[in-house]
Amino acid sequence: MSRFRAASVQQVLPRPVHAAAVVALLLIVLVPLAYILSASLNSDLAVAAGDFWPSQFTFGNYARIWQTTDLAGGLRNSVLISGSVAVVSALVSVMTAYVLVRHKFLGRLTTLRGLVILQSVPGTLLLLPIFVLFASVSTALRVPIIGTPWAVFVTYLTFALPFSTWVMVTYLRGLPLEIEEAARIDGAGPATVLLRIVLPLSWPGIVVAAIFSFLQGWNDVLFSSVMTSPASRTAAVALSVLSSTQDTGAVPIYGQMMAASLVCAAPVVLLNLVFQRYLVNGLTAGGIK
């Protein structure tokens, strides 16, 4: 039966059309990537002139990006902040989703609907309220908040937690309840069931929630530009500084911009390659009942 279904799926499109579609999608992805790579090995004047292929390959752009801007510090801050948000968001979302899925209480449906509604609120609209809130708390407590990594961490966690919780709610709904009931019959308490039964079975969903939370912080420019200082600047802000820098005051440093973009994209690509198996299982969980 499974072979018949697989064959029927493959026969939706004729082989030539299927191959042409795959080639077209690969070109859409690989051509811009190839241009970025070639531009990173080219001079700024050649890139500005529109040369696609370098007349002379040079790796100087990869060496100069570390002196033009504090890219190393930005990468360090991004890894620290985004990684912390990913870990905290994933762990908290598992516990929250377990309560929402396995227990019935007043306000449960309202909470679930609120998680969905929060996804439709643009983050841009919350920039000013969050800034005013942090400024008021900083004034009241006489503790600096804006300009510190903690401000960015709390901001990213505010947006990452609702999405991560909804991902885990969808995933935990697909786990068989009989396994937990068997553990309770053997005398396991709620904490034991969560730590020894639910968590080991929820790794694909946890990885999906953590990676999406990580990417949300890694790719953000708006909040990190407002909430950080030069010492806590993230990699995305360092890239924006590169885009406004000009060599000898005339030509933008296109080569360094491309090189820095590849350097900043490398950790994300590596992360997706390492956890690809968990990502596929986590994203498809709940699709078949």
Residue with tokens 């078949």: 288
Q: Which residues pair with 81 in a beta bridge?
A: none
For position 28, what pLDDT does the model report?
A: 92
For residue range 9-30, list pLDDT tens digits in order.
456 668 888 888 889 999 998 9
All residues at 6 or more sequence positions from 84 whose CB lies less than 8 Å from its CB, including other chains: 153
Structure tokens at 66: 């570390």
For position 4, what pLDDT does the model report?
A: 46
Return the domain boundaries, the chain: 64-284
Which residue, 283, 260, 212, is CA-closest to 36?
Answer: 260
| 46 phi and psi angles, rounded to 5 deg | -70, -40
Alpha-carbon Rg for the chain, nearest whole angstrom, is 24
Instruction: Domain 64-284: give its CATH code.
Output: 1.10.3720.10
For position 248, what pLDDT does the model report?
A: 55
Cβ atoms within 10 Å, residue 183: 16
For residue range 119-149, list pLDDT tens digits in order.
788 888 888 899 999 999 999 988 888 888 9
* Helix spans in 188-234 (H): 190-193, 199-201, 203-218, 222-227
Q: Which parts of the chain sit beneath pLDDT 70?
A: 1-13, 245-251, 280-289
